Structure 1
Amino acid sequence: MKVEPVSAYPSATSRTLAEWLDADLAALHGSEWRSRLREIADARAMRRGMWASFLAIGSSAVVLGAVLLAVGAPASAYVPTMIVGGLIAAASGLFLARVRRWLPKPGTSYTTRGAGSLGGGLVAAASLFGAINVFLIPGIVSSVDPVPLLVLDAGVALVLVSAFVIPAAIIGRGRQTLRREVKRDQQLAAALERDRVTWVPRTAVPMFGPL
């Protein structure tokens, strides 16, 4: 007869979902402690950050193209870019909305080499923007018509914010966001409740909570 070892960790059903989500319980464990709820929150935040970044980049292309057209740039050069940007933004918005009630399968893991907080994203974007402007500012100052270069500089800023600041801010607050969304979205809460009663602990993730 095979005897399963007794787990040293409380089972998922030993606490209610509300108890597992409690911020005070989370504070008792380090931020690196692995749990199913944290796995869910981190995966949702990374996927949401990715689609939000694409949404911002697509929107930036539309805005930048509109500004260039307003200052007299040829429509043939920027209208196609605006159309592509609009399509990217629309598709990203649809995928972003789908993340709202998405739960990753157990074992799903996402990693990022970028910044994981708003502060880190701001530092990364500001550093790159400063480095680019070392070469761009002399051209702006010496140009007879600096408007195109100023628009280009603004476009660089929009891309950096879209690629670094927005996803970093979303990822950095992924766990707080999940806690807040569960309180106001009954369908998400029900999905997490179903996950709680069916989830099986694994070696890498031994507990359902805390968040």
Structure 2
Amino acid sequence: MTRIEPVSAYPPASSRTLAEWMDPALAVLHGAESRSRLREIADARAMRRGMWASFLALGSSSVIIGLVLLAVGVSSSASMPTMIVGGIIAVAAGLFLAGVRGWVPKPGTSYATRGAGSLGGGLIAAASIFGAINVFLIPAIISSVDPMPLLVLDGGLALMLISVFVIPLISVFVIPAAIIGRGRHTLRREAERDQRLAAALERDRVSWGPQIAVPMFGPL
């Protein structure tokens, strides 16, 4: 008895060119939640890029915190290790971040995040945590600090809060969320500008086959 393979309800990758699959109008037609290979690529790239960008920002902020400590009179022996470690992390993260530019993940590659998935969500998360810290921190600081000119006190407090809390919160919450939220737009823009990335995506289009979880190559 001859076995007949079922026909897929979705168009094959070869039914459109790469540019047609990446057309924003096609993305609108299928909605933002439909699964596709291009969206799998964009989301995985954005997740990895967000991770390394977060490490880059954290390393850079460690250098800034070390400089702030030096500025307020902390000895170099106490602040230099923070700056050195932060600088090493920032350089390493920058190298890995640059490597993501031409990276096309294998089919089935996915990353999960429990953080915010957009710039607005990252700002809200960072502001909420910063506000919760200030509820307990500011009254304690005000009650324990010796009297001094208000302007100097406010300036010093703001500088310490920004270096110790705000910059790390932005690094962990805001930067990755902003990158993840624009991952698909970024892939479309970079594919238009980077011929090597476009060629890698074209090779993927030619060789890719539909999967249960990802039935179509596009839209993006």
Range into which the TM-score falls when normalised by the shorter chain? over 0.9
Whether 1:202 aligns to 2:211 is yes
Runs of 4+ residues deviating >6 angstroms: none
Q: Tell me the amino acid that sits aligned with residue 91 of structure 1.
A: A
Residue 151 (structure 1) shift: 4.1
Residue equivalent to 1:130: 131
Q: Tell me the amino acid that sits aligned with residue 191 of structure 1.
A: A
Residue equivalent to 2:186: 177
Distance of 2:129 and 2:117 partners within structure 1: 17
Do the aligned partners of 1:44 and 1:103 also contact (CA within 8 Å) in 2?
A: yes
Residue 140 (structure 1) shift: 3.3
The aligned runs of 1:36-185 (5 Å cut-off) are: 36-142=37-143, 143-144=145-146, 146=153, 150-154=158-162, 155-185=164-194
Q: Which moved more, 1:122-131 or 1:68-77?
A: 68-77
RMSD of Structure 2 on Structure 1 (CA): 1.4
**Deviations for 1:104-149, whole angstroms, at most 9, x for unmatched residues?**
1000111111100000000000000000011111133231275775
Distance of 1:139 and 1:90 partners within structure 2: 37
Counting matched residue pairs gives: 211
Q: Tell me the amino acid that sits aligned with residue 175 of structure 1.
A: R
**Overall identity of the aligned pairs, in %:** 73
Unaligned runs of 5+ in 2: none
Give 1 or 2 for the bigger CA radius of gyration.
2
Distance of 2:34 and 2:114 partners within structure 1: 20
Distance of 1:50 and 1:210 partners within structure 2: 25
Distance of 1:28 and 1:91 partners within structure 2: 41
Do the aligned partners of 1:64 and 1:151 also contact (CA within 8 Å) in 2?
A: no
Distance of 1:23 and 1:150 partners within structure 2: 43
Distance of 1:139 and 1:20 partners within structure 2: 57
Q: Tell me the amino acid that sits aligned with residue 210 of structure 1.
A: P
Residue 2 (structure 1) shift: 3.7
Do the aligned partners of 1:115 and 1:164 also contact (CA within 8 Å) in 2?
A: yes
Do the aligned partners of 1:182 and 1:189 also contact (CA within 8 Å) in 2?
A: yes
Distance of 2:28 and 2:195 partners within structure 1: 25
Unaligned runs of 5+ in 1: none
